């Protein structure tokens, strides 16, 4: 048996969906540990595109158990819509899907407050999707959240709902000058959701630990990426949960010693959605070229992604936090046809306020570690090395020998610089467009 974590190593959108889909073939269970329906995984199977938001990608495979853990926040209407959408496409969803009773519920007031709060920030917007994710996690930490198990207790749910809506309505009236929400309307709506979702709700902590004890292969998947982690990302331009590997333990209720391997998903270049610092961002035709060729638009929102060169400083930060045992390099084919490829190997920062840890009294300093202060990162200029590009297409390659020499050199440089094996290389959107160097489930395990 083996238990493997799949983690985005950048700002999300690295292609985790495809990698999870590939690795699901070697797993018995796929478990989602954090985030909400603000993220999307795109999987293409036999020219059919599936976009999943909360349901684990393993649902597309027969005979796999799919778990939505306690670390996930669930919008019932969105989840039901996702389930029904899969059923219409003849994907079985029933006894293969399990939802933690401890998972928190996104309520209508969370969505309202998310939009109001974001609008109030003006030019300092975070760039959230406005889907209520953040406010739901706020209620969780404030100990006033409503969990999936609460929906199954109609009287207890209504009491909690009354309390929360009273507080929200006070805020809507006095801060945002907005109309009040109706307790009865929300109650009636969510009781219908409860009836639909009740068969899926269970104690997933007991379930997943029993499955691991029985020797099943478990694949842990998250949303977003390490640089959007609430603690270790570019705060405050982050998501509201722990997207790094550590989130698996709290988001599913499993022990750290149960994790055998951690696969970091790295895009062959870098992208991010929304606001926040991005040192290697390209504001020119090349950036537009990467966006167009890579189809860099959000699977959930359709927002255009910002594009730039690969950032090794950011990736070293991710490796330090997650302890990757292997990497999956995605979208290599998007770099086809470029004369030169740049890689960021450091930052230059001029510190007029002397707030930098390596301050030289206003003179430029060189940084080799990812800054913890967002105002420092915003002013960092990338230091690049330049590598030869390749003219031969890599799209659809399934063997390393099919790649041009320059592409192999690029892959080798990334692996050697980060000191992590590249186990999987994605050369296109299709499941078959992949080079499997090592199957993470079959590598030498930590235990």
Residues that are catalytic = 13, 41
Taking the CA atoms of 413, 419, 425 and 427 in sequence, report the sign of the dihedral they define: negative
Please name the residue that has the structure tokens 């985030």: 35
Kindly tell me the number of DSSP H helices and DSSP E strands found in the chain: 13, 20
Give the containing element (helix H, strand E) for 426: strand 422-426
Helix axes 76-88, 183-197, angle to 10 degrees: 40
Rg (CA), the chain: 22
d(CA 42, CA 189): 30
Give me the phi and psi of 424, to 5 degrees please.
-135, 140
> What DSSP designation does 226 have?
G
Is 49:238 a contact under the CB 8 Å cutoff? no
Is 224:12 a contact under the CB 8 Å cutoff? yes
Give the containing element (helix H, strand E) for 220: strand 218-221
Give me the phi and psi of 59, to 5 degrees please.
-65, -20
Q: Are strands 381-388 and 270-272 parallel, antiparallel or unpaired?
A: unpaired
d(CA 338, CA 185): 56
Among candidate residues 323, 329, 326, 292, the one with its CA nearest the CA of residue 307: 292
Which tokens belong to 33? 């540990």
Which tokens belong to 391? 């003219």
């Amino acid at each position: 048996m083996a238990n493997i974590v799949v983690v985005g190593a950048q700002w999300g959108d690295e292609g985790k969906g495809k990698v999870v889909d590939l690795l699901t073939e070697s797993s018995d269970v796929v478990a989602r540990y954090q985030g909400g329906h603000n993220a999307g995984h795109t999987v293409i199977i036999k020219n059919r595109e599936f976009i999943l938001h909360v349901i684990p990608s393993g649902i597309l495979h027969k005979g796999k158990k799919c778990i939505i853990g306690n670390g996930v926040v669930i919008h019932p209407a969105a989840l039901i819509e996702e389930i029904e959408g899969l059923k219409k496409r003849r994907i079985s969803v029933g006894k293969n899907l399990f939802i933690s009773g401890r998972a928190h519920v996104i309520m209508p007031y969370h969505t309202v407050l998310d939009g109001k709060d974001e609008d109030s920030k003006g030019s300092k917007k975070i760039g959230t999707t406005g889907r209520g994710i953040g406010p739901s996690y706020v209620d969780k930490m404030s100990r006033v959240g409503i969990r999936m198990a609460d929906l199954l207790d109609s009287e207890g749910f209504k009491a909690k709902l009354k309390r929360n809506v009273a507080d929200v309505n006070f805020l809507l009236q006095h801060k945002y000058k907005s109309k009040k929400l109706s307790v009865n309307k929300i109650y009636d709506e969510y009781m219908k959701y409860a009836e639909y979702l009740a068969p899926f709700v269970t104690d997933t902590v007991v379930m997943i630990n029993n499955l691991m004890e029985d020797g099943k292969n478990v694949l842990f998947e998250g949303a977003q990426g390490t640089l959007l982690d609430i603690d270790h990302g570019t705060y405050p331009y982050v998501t509201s949960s722990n997207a790094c590997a550590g989130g698996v333990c709290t988001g599913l209720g499993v022990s750290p010693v149960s994790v055998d391997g951690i696969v970091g998903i790295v895009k062959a270049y870098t992208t991010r959605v929304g606001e926040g610092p991005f040192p290697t961002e390209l504001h020119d035709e090349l950036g537009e070229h990467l966006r167009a060729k890579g189809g860099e638009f959000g699977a959930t929102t359709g927002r255009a992604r910002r594009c730039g060169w690969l950032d090794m400083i950011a990736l070293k930060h991710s490796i330090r936090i997650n302890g990757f045992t292997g990497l999956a390099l995605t979208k290599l084919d998007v770099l086809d046809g470029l004369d030169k490829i740049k890689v960021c190997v450091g930052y230059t920062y001029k510190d007029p306020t002397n707030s930098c840890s390596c301050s030289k009294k206003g003179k430029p300093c060189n940084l080799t570690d990812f800054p913890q202060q967002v105002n420092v990162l915003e002013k960092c200029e990338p230091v690049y090395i330049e590598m030869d590009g390749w003219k031969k297409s890599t799209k659809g390659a399934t063997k390393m020998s099919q790649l041009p020499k320059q592409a192999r050199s690029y892959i080798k440089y990334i692996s050697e610089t980060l000191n992590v094996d590249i186990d999987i290389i994605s050369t296109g959107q299709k499941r078959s467009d992949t080079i499997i160097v090592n199957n993470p489930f079959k590598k030498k395990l930590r235990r």
